[in-house]
């Protein structure tokens, strides 16, 4: 319990600090007086110092923080107040907090890739040009899929990032397991340097990026004999890839027989099934839950930053698509439930406990990045009392050509705050009565 409380306070404190720092910086640059910058919520514990008209304080409730601007929730139009600032000054000040959280999410995601962890774009290499020197030197044939070298999987990046996902765990020579014509053969006496050169060459293409994680009872997948852990290679002879995703290929064959090619236990299988056009809610056409191939990997700085940007906007896109995915039955409602402070604290505590036990910090970076991005998205929702709600009033002001009465706007935000507080209480009660499962980091990292 103590670990959960302390870790939650620290993680949330860092995220909120940068959020409020964004508000503070931009407010000051637009002539808005910030009366207090507080870490934690009142009652006040101690005034740390005063700088340029702002009291920096430490408060007793450690879960959050605030930047209190002059006249923010009143009709104060005096010099230096929030309401007296220009329209664009107010908008920039409000947007700065979520923007800081987005930038922090990118940095935290990038750190996770630099530190090493689950690379959601991992794949196995398939030989597409056996005439290349790197492939011919090892005696490889076109179509060969390299599965293992020594005692480690031969992972490569599926989206072309710099950095080698595979690192030799044993000394030369290495034995390479190769899937060739539906059977596994072994290449003896391979050298790590030769394999590195091959994986960095144009002789390979990434395959087997999709893993079957769960199968619904009595679904077409279960009837066909698909099992959790199977890797998806193709559908009706078409290769599954990021440019040719599994759901697109499946949707071409709704209500008619198709052949799905899988790899299981280093063997290739061809199974037949009929995907459904009207599946039960949350099951999908085949009745499977899929995930991307995972590998423990480290990437260099530039590739990590690129992946940080990509991961942040992939998460944002997923959140924005959630309502449509729920309506289409692609995601079960239980998998998209909102967590309150209790649920988030439990998740943070579980992650910190895993890090303490394993010595692996990747889950902390990754979870903090997700929470930072989630904080940005939540605050930009066009709801009263949130930054997005205040931005909505500025948009209305822009369209009308005149301001909404600040007193009326303040009253709307007050009501909105009470509604949000009530919803938070309900979500917290649900988190206590029906707690959701925490993330299984061991499974994600293949530990």
> Could you tell me the pLDDT band of residue 424, with boundaries at 50, 70 and 90?
confident
Q: Is the pLDDT of residue 436 over 80?
A: no
Least confident segment among 16-20, 243-247, 335-339, 364-368: 335-339
Q: Tell me the CATH number at 225.
A: 2.30.42.10
Burial per residue of 422-435, b for 16 or more beta-carbon CB atoms within 10 angstroms, e otherwise: eeeeebeebbeeee
User: Which of 109, 102, 104 is closest to 303 using CA atoms?
Assistant: 109
pLDDT at 16 over 70: yes
Chain mean pLDDT for the chain: 85
Residue 246 placed within a domain: yes
End-to-end CA distance of the chain: 25
Token representation of residue 323: 């309502």
110 within some domain: yes
Where a domain ends, among 173, 190, 207?
A: 207
- Same domain assignment for residues 182 and 273: no
Asked whether residue 168 falls in the same domain as residue 221, the answer is: no
Residue 418 to residue 287: CA distance in whole angstroms: 41
- Select the more confidently predicted residue: 309 or 157: 309
Whether residues 350 and 406 fall in one domain:
yes
Can you tell me the mean pLDDT for 375-403? 90
If asked whether residues 22 and 108 sit together in one domain, one would say yes
Average pLDDT rounded to a whole number, residues 206-234: 92
What pLDDT shows up at residue 162?
A: 47
- Same domain for 6 and 75? yes
pLDDT above 70 covers a percentage of the chain that reads 90
Q: Do residues 401 and 386 share a domain?
A: yes
In this structure, what token pair is assigned to residue 72?
Answer: 């923010």
- Do both 197 and 220 map to the same domain? no
Evaluated on CA atoms 269, 273, 278, 279, the torsion sign reads negative
Question: Which of 279, 303, 320 marks a domain boundary?
Answer: 279
The CATH number given to whatever domain includes residue 182 is: 2.30.42
| 108 and 143 housed in the same domain | no
Q: Is residue 195 situated within a structural domain?
A: yes
pLDDT, position 165: 66
| Cα–Cα distance measured from residue 175 to residue 150, given in angstroms and rounded to the nearest whole number | 5
Residues 59 and 141 in one domain: no
Question: Among 2-11, 313-322, 323-332, which is the least confidently predicted range?
Answer: 323-332
Question: Which whole number is the average pLDDT over 186-201?
Answer: 86
Give the per-residue pLDDT at 250: 92
Residues 30 and 102 in one domain: yes
Answer yes or no: do 17 and 101 share one domain: yes
Q: What is the rounded distance in angstroms from the CA atom of residue 141 to the CA atom of residue 358?
A: 40
Residues 141 and 175 in one domain: yes
Instruction: Tell me the pLDDT band of 160, cut-offs 50, 70 and 90.
Output: low
Show the 3-state SS of 403-419. Answer: CCCHHHHHHHHHHHHHH
78, part of any domain: yes
5 neighbors 345 (Cβ within 8 angstroms): yes
* Residue 320 covered by a domain: no
Question: Is there a domain that residue 82 lies in?
Answer: yes
- Preceding amide of 173 cis, omega within 30: yes
71 belongs to a structural domain: yes
Domain final residue pick, 279, 294, 316: 279
Q: How confident is the model at residue 331 (pLDDT cuts 50, 70, 90)?
A: low
Q: Where in the sequence is the domain holding 176, given as residue range(s)?
A: 122-207
Number of domains in the chain: 3
Report yes or no on 325 lying in a domain. no
């Amino acid at each position: 319990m103590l670990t959960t409380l302390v870790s939650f306070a620290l993680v949330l404190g860092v995220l909120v600090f940068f959020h409020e720092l964004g508000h503070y910086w931009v407010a000051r640059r637009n002539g808005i007086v910030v009366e207090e910058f507080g870490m934690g919520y009142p009652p006040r514990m101690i005034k740390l110092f005063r700088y340029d008209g702002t009291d920096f304080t430490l408060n007793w409730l450690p879960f959050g923080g605030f930047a209190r601007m002059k006249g923010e929730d009143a009709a104060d139009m005096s010099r230096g107040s929030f309401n007296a600032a220009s329209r664009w000054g107010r908008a920039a000040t409000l947007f700065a907090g979520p923007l800081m959280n987005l930038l922090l999410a990118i940095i935290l995601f990038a750190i996770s890739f630099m530190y090493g962890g689950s690379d959601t774009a991992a794949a196995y290499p398939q030989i597409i040009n056996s005439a290349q020197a790197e492939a011919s030197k090892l005696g490889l044939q076109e179509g060969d899929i390299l599965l293992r070298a020594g005692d480690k999987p031969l992972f490569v990046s599926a989206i072309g990032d710099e950095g080698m996902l595979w690192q030799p765990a044993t000394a030369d020579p290495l034995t390479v397991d190769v899937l060739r014509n539906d059977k596994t053969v072994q290449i003896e006496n391979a050298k790590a340097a030769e394999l590195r050169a091959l994986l960095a060459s144009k002789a390979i293409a990434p395959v087997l990026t999709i893993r079957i994680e769960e199968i619904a009872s009595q679904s077409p997948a279960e009837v066909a004999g698909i099992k959790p852990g199977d890797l998806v290679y193709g559908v009706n002879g078409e290769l599954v890839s990021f440019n040719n995703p599994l759901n697109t290929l499946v949707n071409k064959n709704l209500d008619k027989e198709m052949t799905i090619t899988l790899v299981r236990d280093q063997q290739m299988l061809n199974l037949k099934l009929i995907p459904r056009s009207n599946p039960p809610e949350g099951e999908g056409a085949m009745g499977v839950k899929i995930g991307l191939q995972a590998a423990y990997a480290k990437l260099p700085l530039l590739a990590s930053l690129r992946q940080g940007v990509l991961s942040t906007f992939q998460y944002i896109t997923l959140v924005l698509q959630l309502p449509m995915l729920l309506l289409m039955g692609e995601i079960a409602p239980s998998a998209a439930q909102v967590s309150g402070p209790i649920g988030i604290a439990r998740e943070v505590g579980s992650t910190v406990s895993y890090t303490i036990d394993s010595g692996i910090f990747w889950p902390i970076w990754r979870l903090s990045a997700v929470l930072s991005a989630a904080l940005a998205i939540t605050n930009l929702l066009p709801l009263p009392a949130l930054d997005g709600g205040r931005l909505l009033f500025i948009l209305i002001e822009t369209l009308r050509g005149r301001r909404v009465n600040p007193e009326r706007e303040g009253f709307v935000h007050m009501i909105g705050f009470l509604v949000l507080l009530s919803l938070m209480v309900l979500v917290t009660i649900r988190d206590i009565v029906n707690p959701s499962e925490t993330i299984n980091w061991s499974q994600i990292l293949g530990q």
